[in-house]
Structure 1
Amino acid sequence: MHKVVILGTGPAGLTAAIYLARANMNPLIIEGNEPGGQLTLTTEVENFPGFTDGILGPELIGNMRKQAERFGAVFKSGWVTSVDTSQSPFLLQVNGIGEVAAEALILSTGASAKLLQIPGEAENIGTGVSTCATCDGFFYRGKKIVIVGGGDSAMEEASFLTKFATEVVIVHRRNELRASKIMQDRARQNEKISWKLNRMPVEVVSDGMKVTGLKVRNGETGEEEIIETDGIFVAIGHTPNTAFLDGQIETDETGYIQVVPGTTETNIPGIFACGDVQDKRYRQAITAAGSGCMAAMDTERYLEGQEIIDWSQTLSEKAGPK
């Protein structure tokens, strides 16, 4: 039995761990197959307060983890396959660990950026391929950028990137965009934005050190061409990591966890959500960390208001006769 179990080791989960460990809650943090989350794929982080010269994403995550461990947080590696939220304590089935019981649960499993799944993409993430314009746009000042996508996010990020780049080329696999008319109009009126529509990305081109282009296939002629670029931003959406919850927690139509406004409370008392798993608007390390603090404080207040229960007896009854 654990008072608090935290799922995920991105900025949200680690911040929650720091706060709860300092409150003598002895949290157990379960990290899945992507410890540290998306921040570990980021090279230089320059917009996290307190680091005047920036800091590497993996280093920032490592420091946050050490800070949580210093106050007594315990980390275990495993993959949660199911959660029983029907009664408290909550029971988690975790590959590599077994069954884990928790009086309170914090969900900070994040959201995974959708990728193109083409040759050259994965090996160049962080060195020319990015999924976050706000995070990495500054590094492309005075350069040419390609952004792949046709929705509102792609249009918004393309407009944002024109603050830094000399040219932004929007590549989309269809002639028609999914973005709202107002977002399309805003992008089309920007003189720095050009268009390559009805083009299917087929390969990220690199010289071995950095990205130099994006190979695309013309949807009408089948001909291939290379669009020269210094960086490629993939903006085709994110997938929140909530499938393992099997619909027990209320989400929106795209799978993001719904919380009570102004809190991290879910529809299940004792279960809280923070970070990108419940935030599809900002998706920043600093906002994730802030919501992790909120989740820890909400959890502490919840636990302080609970009656003292003989959890060993409760678990024994739950298991049934041997």
Structure 2
Amino acid sequence: MRLLTASTVLLFVGAVSAASSWSFSDASVTGSSKAAKSVARKFSASEKASDAVLLGPKDSIKVSLTTLDDEAKAKRPHQAFLLVRESSGLEVPFALTLKQSGKGTVQFSQKDLPKQLLHSPSPLQASLVLGSAGSTRGSITPTFDVELKLDSASPAPSHHDPLRYGPLAEIDHTFRADPKSPPRIVSLAFALAVLASVPTLIVTVSLCHRETGDRDHVIPLSSILGARLTLVSAQWVLFGANLRHAATAFSRAPVSHAIFFGSVVGMECVFYLYHGGWNLFYTLPIVSLVGASAFLSGTKALGEVQRRRLAGER
């Protein structure tokens, strides 16, 4: 007795579950062709059409049906479309035109299908998709198959595979090592070599210097300012610097000479520190500051030197 009751309950639950989704009735598919008579094929929610529908280049397929809700009443769902797909999974939807009574139709031809589907070696599969926002469950029901017949007189439709993003081959790249500054001992050796050449230049210029007539050789101010600021002190010696006039120069323009000489020494220190380990982010701002001070102070300092040389003071 209990077994019979349990079996009855299970059958009732199964029937309710089967009827709790969208369905349809009075469904038919018609293949319209100018070369042959139209043939209508019936299908239902439980059984698809037995024969495939032929779709030629000038043919069309029309589907008519009535949608039913979970209570088997004719009603229009929120979504209803016919899904045509091939074996690879590529598909195209066709929305049904529905009335409030649930009666709906959809029609498509071969030109409405994407070119990719026209290359399918097997018949296309058509399924009806019904869905709603309410409590009634949606349904996907196979309905019929579509057999394509292409126009033999026209060239076969061509298409290019779409661009698909995916993983590329692994790139094995070895980055170069960071540039390294020369050893400090090398930078110090070159700095000492430069400083050691200054006394030699002084002695050489003192031995080779000769006065020409009543006036000494005049050094243009523009030639001095156009040279590199880091070698200004060496140019002074090369063109006839006289250290005995240092007191006179500092008495006439003390600030300009002091700042200019300090800028030259500071520039050499900056280059030494750059070769010793500084990078450009530290060096460039300081070089700009020292260079600006050397230019502004050098204009007045070297101008004072030029005036003394024009006056015949060597």
Bin for the TM-score computed over the shorter chain:
under 0.3
TM-score, normalisation: structure 1: 0.17
Pick the structure with greater CA Rg.
Answer: 2
More strand by share: 1
TM-score by length of 2: 0.17
